[in-house]
Structure 1
Amino acid sequence: MPIGKVSNELLEKIVFPYSGVNCGRVICGPAVGQDAAVIDFGEKLLVVGADPITGTQSKMGWYAVHVNANDVAVRGAVPRYFTSTILLNKGAEEDFLEEVCRDVDEAAREIGVCIVGGHTEVVPFLETPLLCGTMFGETTKDRLVLTSGARAGDVIILTKHVGLEGAAILATDRFEDLSRVLDGPLLLRAQSFFSNLSVVREALAVNESGVVTAMHDPTEGGLLGGLVELSKASNVGFRVEEESVPVAKETLEICSTLGVNPLSLISSGVLLVTVKSGEESRALDAIRSVGVSSTIIGRVTSSKRILVRSGGEEVNVGPSIREELWVALKAKLG
């Protein structure tokens, strides 16, 4: 299998069928595009999201908390509790472990999350450290949002700018060689994108507007991957205008230098929201009220997945999107 997240087709064919017993409480379980599980606990719903950190070692603890909190928040849930499994490679230093734990603590305090457990181990065959996180959150049935709620005619809103996570990783992990062809200040600005990786504030704020039909946190595969997952979960299509999609200058420069597409670059920190047609202004106002930028990039359609290029060409978006980060991390500079 290729490097990166297992394809949607393999998830449905091999992974999802093995789901244990039916406890009767699962509102949302394993499914393509669904960011977190939802379990009925009576008056409250328990929301559970799990994600590993594999693409970077820089601030991986801080990063793990926010990435997992995002998956919970797009359900309309408040992140509450976090566990982590820290797997260290042979020879890892105590200072590195302490740095990871300190970063987990810092991120958790930023969003009011309690660290409730986990596991830490040195594994002899690992080449680099891995951190697997699980976030637990709470919501109620009237606040619950699923990725499967989008309907034809809905407006698609994007927060911030695409590829910000990937740009931050590349500007950090490849700083030395990129600085030979790109300005140092530009790379430092891209590194600062790490501070924008949380979508908790805007997700909870826009959900309060009452006009949201679906939310999704586009991670691997970037914007295009997120759109495909959302459309598959909702059994709909989309029509997105490339010219409407915000991309930071720093991301464009880094992607151009490494020969990758920013629309397919990992994008934690970006929020995809679909809202009822005619209600988009309420959603935009809610997002902007917490100091986050947002842009209308297209509409939900009944079937086809279409990206309209800058020149007007309409391109059909396929069912699987290649994550560009893995390509960019290994790309040779001329």
Structure 2
Amino acid sequence: MRQGFSFHLLRASERARLHFDFCDRIETGVERFRQRGTNSGRRDDLWLSRFHSGFIPQSFGFILTGERKGFSLFPMGLKEGKLDPEFLSRLLELLRKGDGRVEVGPQPGVDAAVLRLGGGYLVAASDPITFVTEDLSYYALVVNANDIAVMGARPQFFLGTLLLPPGIEEGEVEGIFRDLASEAEEMDILLLGGHTEVTPGIDRPILIGTMLGYIEEGRYYTSGGAREGDLLVLTKRIAIEGTSIIARERRDEVERHFGQDFLERTLRFNREPGISIVREALIAADSGLVTAMHDITEGGFAMGAREMAVASGTGLLVYGDELPIYEETLKLCELFGLDPLGLIGSGSLLLSVPPERADDLLAILMKEEIEARVVGEFREREFGFMIRRGGEISPLPAYPQDEITKLFQ
């Protein structure tokens, strides 16, 4: 490889080192950009600075990033995880917004839609399960139920689309259906139907759920109801779901480092402390003390809190030293180099509450044996999204790609 240059071509499923002649082609392309800039009256160093900092030459179809000692080439495609909020906002602008019956329509950071129906509200949410194969039915029901509950509605009806990889055994499919029926009965959720097919392009079952709930009277909540001055409350601790997924995906390594008891304990994290926030969300809704609710999913606490502030049109200060984390979670994140702030976190509920009501809310949750604490405050929009640790305030990290995806790379 030519001294001073290290090019890489990254694709969805491969990473290959480029050869000298391709380097020459890129250098030729850079020179053409330089000439184009000169011919158009622009300064050469402007074109080069754009190249060095991440210029996107449409003729190549790649993004060039990095410094001269280590350029990288990336295809102009999307990475795993949530879409960029600005891009998602542009996409949602293309959708028809409704006819007046839609109380809450499509918008970034909002967990479910709300439709005025009769004397109450129909609440609808949809989520896929893509990170796990064990307990697939349980995850699909709980994750979708969470989205309904944070709106203040009780989850009642479920439809599922089950996509199966070619070659899957009938017994495995039957097991998924049996689990779905059993878990739904346990949660008092009625299965309405859905769709099932074997489809190419996947290597594991994927279950996409749609949950419905109904609010007969009272009000509904959204993630966008927080106001400047409200406090941010967290139930349980961060990265619960991620802890369980790590244990499932890295069983041998986890057992080798921490032992069988530790492995079994973390495997059960999806059940205890659990990834459901339905109970605490309905208790909070019934209290009438909160202004907004949001459940933490992909991108972890950091993205969940940020989404809540964006939806509410506020800034946010997170009390980093107050964020609770289970010892098991911390050990697993240290072992695999993951940041718990950005680790998928179903099982934790975010609530906004006026300062004068915070103690009453915490007392109600404590009475129901639900762990909760204040972990931040909503500020003016111009404040941005910040975190305070050890007296120092810095930008709150963003995790458009959940930390759990590092396990699959």
1:266–1:323 contact (8 Å) kept in structure 2? yes
1:21 positional shift: 6.2
Distance 1:288 1:245, change over 3 A: same
1:197-221 per-residue CA deviation (whole Å, 9 max, x = no partner) reads: 1111100001111111000011011
Give the unaligned 5+ runs of structure 2: 1-77
CA distance in 2, matches of 1:122, 1:157: 43
Aligned to 2:103: 27
Aligned to 1:7: 84
1:277-324 per-residue CA deviation (whole Å, 9 max, x = no partner) reads: 111122112223333211111111112211112x32211125654310
Classify the secondary structure of the residue corresponding to 2:364. Answer: helix
1:199–1:271 contact (8 Å) kept in structure 2? yes
Distance 1:290 1:112, change over 3 A: farther
Classify the secondary structure of the residue corresponding to 1:246. Answer: coil
CA distance in 2, matches of 1:274, 1:114: 31
1:187 positional shift: 2.2
* Of 242, 245, 263, the match for 2:323: 245
Q: CA RMSD in A?
A: 1.5
Name the aligned partner's letter for residue 283 of structure 1.
L
2:80–2:401 contact (8 Å) kept in structure 1? no
Distance 1:284 1:21, change over 3 A: closer
Classify the secondary structure of the residue corresponding to 2:256. Answer: coil
1:66–1:107 contact (8 Å) kept in structure 2? no
1:224–1:321 contact (8 Å) kept in structure 2? no
1:94 positional shift: 1.7
Name the aligned partner's letter for residue 396 of structure 2.
V
Q: Structure 1 residues 1-10 or 20-29, which shifts more?
A: 20-29
Aligned to 1:155: 231
Aligned residues: 328
With the length of structure 1 as denominator, give the TM-score of the two structures.
Answer: 0.94
Q: How is 1:221-240 mapped onto 2 (pairs within 5 angstroms)?
A: 221-240=299-318
1:98 positional shift: 2.0
Name the aligned partner's letter for residue 203 of structure 1.
A
1:51 positional shift: 0.3
CA distance in 2, matches of 1:199, 1:107: 16
Q: State whether structure 2 residue 294 is matched by structure 1 residue 216.
A: yes
Q: Structure 1 residues 72-81 or 299-308, which shifts more?
A: 299-308
Aligned to 1:300: 378
2:293–2:350 contact (8 Å) kept in structure 1? yes
CA distance in 1, matches of 2:312, 2:401: 21
* Of 270, 288, 294, the match for 2:366: 288
2:302–2:399 contact (8 Å) kept in structure 1? no
1:133 positional shift: 0.2
With the length of structure 2 as denominator, give the TM-score of the two structures.
Answer: 0.77
1:191-250 per-residue CA deviation (whole Å, 9 max, x = no partner) reads: 111111111110000111111100001101100000110000000011111121110011
2:243–2:332 contact (8 Å) kept in structure 1? yes
1:141 positional shift: 5.8
CA distance in 1, matches of 2:311, 2:322: 24
Classify the secondary structure of the residue corresponding to 1:212. Answer: coil
1:153 positional shift: 1.0
Aligned to 1:114: 190
Classify the secondary structure of the residue corresponding to 2:391. Answer: coil
CA distance in 1, matches of 2:187, 2:309: 30
Classify the secondary structure of the residue corresponding to 1:126. Answer: coil
1:77-96 per-residue CA deviation (whole Å, 9 max, x = no partner) reads: 01110000000001111222
Q: Which has the higher contact order (CA 8 A, sep 6+)?
A: 1
1:233-272 per-residue CA deviation (whole Å, 9 max, x = no partner) reads: 0000111111211100110011111101001100111100
CA distance in 2, matches of 1:328, 1:160: 24
1:209–1:282 contact (8 Å) kept in structure 2? no
* Of 106, 122, 127, the match for 1:46: 122
Give the unaligned 5+ runs of structure 1: none
CA distance in 1, matches of 2:150, 2:277: 8
